[in-house]
Amino acid sequence: MEKTELIQKVVGGRRSAWRVISSFEQKTDTSDKKLHVFYLKMKGDYFRYLAEVACDDDQKQTIDNSQGAYQEAFHISKKEMQPTHPIGLGLALNFSVLYYEILNNPELACTLAKTAFDEALAELDTLNEDSCKDSTLIMQLLRDNLALWTSDSAGE
């Protein structure tokens, strides 16, 4: 492949992701807090994906954007959602992955994942039938990540 084709491929993917993020921002209904958290989580996810392939200043900016979106969503979810809600658990999972894989902060990643897992576990009996399967699956993913991350840090 030629250099220009490679550049177009990389830029095309970023441009597409940017369009999705912009679309989410325009369509976000802030009166529905769960939906707002979901959109902010998605925004954080897309910026995290971009951060995986970005370089230098672009990477720093995309990381900051991802962290900002996750942080805002996390703040709202703590006030407005049960700890067992699948959207909040998914947010905690993805936010902890940002800390572990992108920001190289395993301590904060583990703290975030463990807190979300423990809080959800304490309120497991409040789960409704609709979200039970989703919530328990995400809790398993949180637990799996914690096990992997703590074994990684123990091996170092």
pTM score, whole prediction: 0.80
The answer on pLDDT for 15 being more than 80 is no
Q: What pLDDT digit, counting tens, does each position of 116-135 carry?
A: 999 999 998 888 777 888 99
Q: How many CB atoms lie within 10 A of CB 76?
A: 18
Mean pLDDT within 43-59:
91
What b/e sequence results for 57-70 when a residue is b if at least 16 CB atoms lie within 10 Å of its CB, and e otherwise? eeeeebbebbbebb
Q: What pLDDT digit, counting tens, does each position of 19-29 carry?
A: 776 676 666 55
The answer on pLDDT for 37 being more than 70 is yes
Domain limits of the chain? 1-80, 82-156
Calculate ∠ Cα 73-78-82, nearest 5°.
115
